[in-house]
Structure formats: C-alpha cells, structure tokens
Structure 1
Amino acid sequence: MASLQNSPSIHRTLLPNSLPQLGFQKKNAVLPVCRRSISVIVRAENSSMASTSLSQDKCGRRHMIAVGVVAPWVSLLNQTPASFAVESKKGFLSVTDKNDGYSFVYPFGWQEVIIEGQDKVFKDVIEPLESVSINLVKTSKQDIRDFGSPQEVAQILIKKFLAPPTQKTKIIAASEHDVDGKAYYTFEFTAQAPNYIRHAIGAVTVGNGMKLVCKMFYLVLGNALCRFYTLTTGANERRWGKMKDRLETVVDSFKIFSV
C-alpha cells in the first residue's frame, strides 16, 4: 500500500444525551423503610416493645442508607450511550483502535490473523475469501476528495493494491457519502482468478491530521500529516447472495475518529 504514493493519478501529495434516569423522586416519594414506632415505657414488661421499636428504627436507617447507595447505580446502569450501539449489533463483534482512530464490526466467528502490510485482518477460517482488512498509509492531503472522484480512486486501488495484477477486475459501483462531516468513498468490485471470483466492497477516507500549530514544522520535514484509511471486505462470488448484507454491514460500520 505504501507504493500508493507513486501512483500518477492519486499522488498529488500522498499518497450526553442519556435516557431518563431511574431513581427516587423527592416529590411524592415512597421509600421502603420501616415506620418508627413510638412507645411509652410504663412497666418493665413493656421493655420488649421498646426493643422492637429500636429495632424498627435501625431498620429504617439501614433502608435509607441502602437507597442512597443503590439509586445512583440504578441510574448509571440505565444510561445507554450511543457509542455502545455498534457493540450490540446482533451477530457481529466490534473492534476499536484507539491509537489509529478507527472502528468497525465484523461477523461473529471470524478470527484475527496477522498479514504483513495490513493493520488488522479478520477472516472466516472455513471460507478464506470471506475476510475484512484495514490498511493505513500517510498522506499530506486533508480530504479523500483531493485524490479524485470515487471512480478514479477505486480504479487505482483495485488495479494496483486490492487485487493481484494477474486477476481480471471489474468495478461495479463507486460512490461518496458523508459521516459527521467527513467524506468517505465506497466501492464494489469483482476480481476473477482462474478458479474463483471474489466479490468485494470497500471504503476509504482520510483523517487524523496534525494540529495546525505543528503543520508547518511537519511540512518542512516532508512528513505526512494525515492517514489514508482503506477497509475492504468480500466473499467468494458463489456465496455473495448469502453474505452481501453482512459485508455491507461491515463497510457501513467503518468510522474514523480523532486521536
């Protein structure tokens, strides 16, 4: 992926809102405490009644303490921040890289494998063509649109980096969409080998540039300022109909965040 910097077409410089809390209201509260009994000790035989009253009074204090301890925890447990939504998607597991600033989900059952040149790879051990990988390279561009149209960027990535040169490739679709003010390109393609066809989809974006105060310093040194993210997932063409929705979920879940 590092050789992307030499591509004549791409290389211009590269290359809380929370739910209502559960708890006890001050108004019209009904607390599960024992009523304090009032008794007048007249005779010695009434001492048992006094003992009972004292016991009930202690019970009341214990309940009040319990309420004070439990109520805040009930409130905390009832909060469901939006950032947790990706983790609750049925049939998927999530991965978040806090160092490189990205997250996505992948189908339950896929295993992480180490592949040189890739930042992360997860794949199905039974169907090896079913996988997702993410790659990062540095760039001085600030926006994916600086590299050209979705079709142009997809063409270069597929031809030079996402499929072996011996395979015949075909772009099916390429488009742009916006997430939280950040531009992403998504694309779909096939790569034909002698004994199989891989049907794949991917997403690319640019982000996590240096702060402006450091920008001039890094430009002088010739260092890159941003990261060019590429996520790709796919499956054997014969299983595309079964896997399409799941793979689209993987691509749709891909997001970058500031680090």
Structure 2
Amino acid sequence: MLSAQQLPCIPRTQLGLCTNGRFQKGVPFIVRAEQISAPSTSLQDKAGRRQILAAGLTIAPLVLLSCQKSTAFAAENAKGYLPVTDKKDGYSFIYPFGWQEVVIEGQDKVYKDVIEPLENVSVTVFPTNKEDIRDLGSPQEVAEALIKKVLAPPSQKTKLLTAAEHDVDGKAYYTFEFVAQAPNFTRHALSTIVIGNGKFYTLTTGANERRWGKMKDKLNTVIDSFKIFNV
C-alpha cells in the first residue's frame, strides 16, 4: 500500500497541507463546492441564464478556435467541447461548451458549469523528482492515497470504484473513478494523473451523483482527452 509519505510533497496552497514532507488531513476537496457554487436562483432565473448561454455559445466557439488552430482537431473530433492547451506547463484537454473558467487558489485551471457547480474540471501541476507515475505504486495504491489524503477531506466518506493504467505515446497514465459523500451531496468523480517534464499532473472532473447518469459520458470524454507534451 502506498503511504502518504511516498507521495510527492504538495504545497499548502495547492492540493493539500504539507508539513515536513508529509500530508496532513483536513484538506478541502480538489474543487470545493462552496468555492465554485453560484448564488441560489429560481427556476425561472436558471432557464433565462441557460438561454443566454445558448445564444452566446453559437458565436464563441468560432472565435476561440480561430485563435487556437493547433488544437482545432480536438473540437472537430469531439463536438460540443472546447480545447485548452497550456504551452508553459505542457498539457491539453477539452471541456464542454457552457462551462466557464474560474480562478481558485492552488489550481492551474478550473472550468465549471454555472448552473451545476459540482460539474467541473480542474488541473493541478506541481514539481516532482519522480520520472514515472508507476514509481509511486500501482493504480489502486496511488488512487486510494490521493483520494484519502488529497482529493477529499476527512469529513467525507470516500470509495474508490475503479483504477487502471493506460499508455499514451509511451507515457503511463493512471485513471480512476471514485465517490465522495458529504452530508448534503455526493460527488462522483474521475481523475487522471501522469508524471512528465519534472511535474506531477492531476486532472479531476465530476458531477453530483444525482446527475452522474446524464454526465458520465461527457466527463469520460474530458478525462480521455487529457494529454501532456514535452516543454
């Protein structure tokens, strides 16, 4: 079993609390609901906001894609998504139309649905001296350690559902699915992690359990799109 001490030390302002190279409990969920939730609105307000989003999104993708020709293939191959490429840190992924970018301390990128804030994707990047994700242990060992020590606070009951390894261009990625149960909601999430460029990358996306059936295909598309490249 991978212990917390074996994980790369994550700065306090990023995924967890780190003291003398050890993770501490009490870490907020990777994108806490209270950090990204929109103010409560009536059903009429929500419908109006969705109409505004739908109108704006007929034009926005054309403008964005014209500025990101290098990632145009992503939008062509996955209709209904927008591409993100970070040339500084060396990664790319796609996210669903309608999600908006927000700034959250410790996260490199965060996009969320303005109506359903638990539907979001976040990316974190931090240094590591490891060269391969397999250096940390098996997919299940690494996933369980990250979920318990980093991706969910001790107050939430977590359960790892699946964990697997896959290869992309000779680079090993770990992908896992888990649930985190809070008193007033259950988050169903997917994460993928990889090491490269001297960095540990984590992409996590998810939704409220009650909407998992509707969202799981979209969220799996987001997870599958995550790639790193040499910088």
Structure 2 length normalisation: TM-score? Answer: 0.71
Task: Give the residue type in structure 1 aligned to 2:4.
Answer: S
Tell me what 1:169 maps to.
Answer: 158
> What SS is found at the alignment partner of 2:188?
strand
How far apart, in 2, do the equivalents of 1:105 and 1:234 lie?
14
One of 95, 102, 123 as aligned partner of 1:134:
123
Tell me what 2:14 maps to.
Answer: none
Tell me what 2:73 maps to.
Answer: 85
Quick one: structure 1 residues 117 and 106, their matched pair in 2 at CA, closer, same or farther if it must change by over 3 Å?
A: same
Tell me what 1:188 maps to.
Answer: 177
Q: Deviations over 1:81-106 (max 9, x none)?
A: 99532132200001000000000000
One of 218, 242, 245 as aligned partner of 2:217:
245
Q: Deviations over 1:1-46 (max 9, x none)?
A: xxxxx9324359x99xxxxxxxxxxxxxxxxxxxxxxxxxxxxxxx
Q: How many residues align?
A: 171
How far apart, in 2, do the equivalents of 1:87 and 1:207 lie?
25
> What SS is found at the alignment partner of 2:5?
coil
4+ residue stretches of structure 1 with deviation over 3 A? 81-84
Tell me what 1:108 maps to.
Answer: 97
Tell me what 1:123 maps to.
Answer: 112
> What SS is found at the alignment partner of 1:178?
strand
Shift of 1:164: 1.7
Tell me what 1:62 maps to.
Answer: none
Structure 2 unaligned segments of length 5 or more: list them: 10-20, 23-68
Task: Give the residue type in structure 1 aligned to 2:7.
Answer: I
Tell me what 2:200 maps to.
Answer: 228
Are residue 8 (structure 1) and residue 5 (structure 2) matched? yes
RMSD: 2.0
Kept in 2, the 8 Å contact 1:9–1:156? The answer is: no
Task: Give the residue type in structure 1 aligned to 2:161.
Answer: I
> What SS is found at the alignment partner of 2:105?
coil
How far apart, in 1, do the equivalents of 2:127 and 2:6 lie?
16
Structure 1 unaligned segments of length 5 or more: list them: 1-5, 16-80, 209-225
Tell me what 2:87 maps to.
Answer: 98
How far apart, in 2, do the equivalents of 1:149 and 1:82 lie?
34
Q: For the pair shown, which has the larger CA radius of gyration, 1 or 2?
A: 1
Tell me what 2:196 maps to.
Answer: 207
> What SS is found at the alignment partner of 1:95?
strand
How far apart, in 2, do the equivalents of 1:152 and 1:174 lie?
9
Quick one: structure 1 residues 96 and 11, their matched pair in 2 at CA, closer, same or farther if it must change by over 3 Å?
A: closer
How far apart, in 2, do the equivalents of 1:127 and 1:83 lie?
27
Shift of 1:198: 0.4
> What SS is found at the alignment partner of 1:152?
helix
How far apart, in 2, do the equivalents of 1:83 and 1:117 lie?
26
Structure 1 length normalisation: TM-score? Answer: 0.63
Task: Give the residue type in structure 2 aligned to 1:203.
Answer: T
Q: Deviations over 1:35-88 (max 9, x none)?
A: xxxxxxxxxxxxxxxxxxxxxxxxxxxxxxxxxxxxxxxxxxxxxx99532132
Kept in 2, the 8 Å contact 1:10–1:148? The answer is: no
**Identity rate, percent:** 67
Quick one: structure 1 residues 183 and 250, their matched pair in 2 at CA, closer, same or farther if it must change by over 3 Å?
A: same
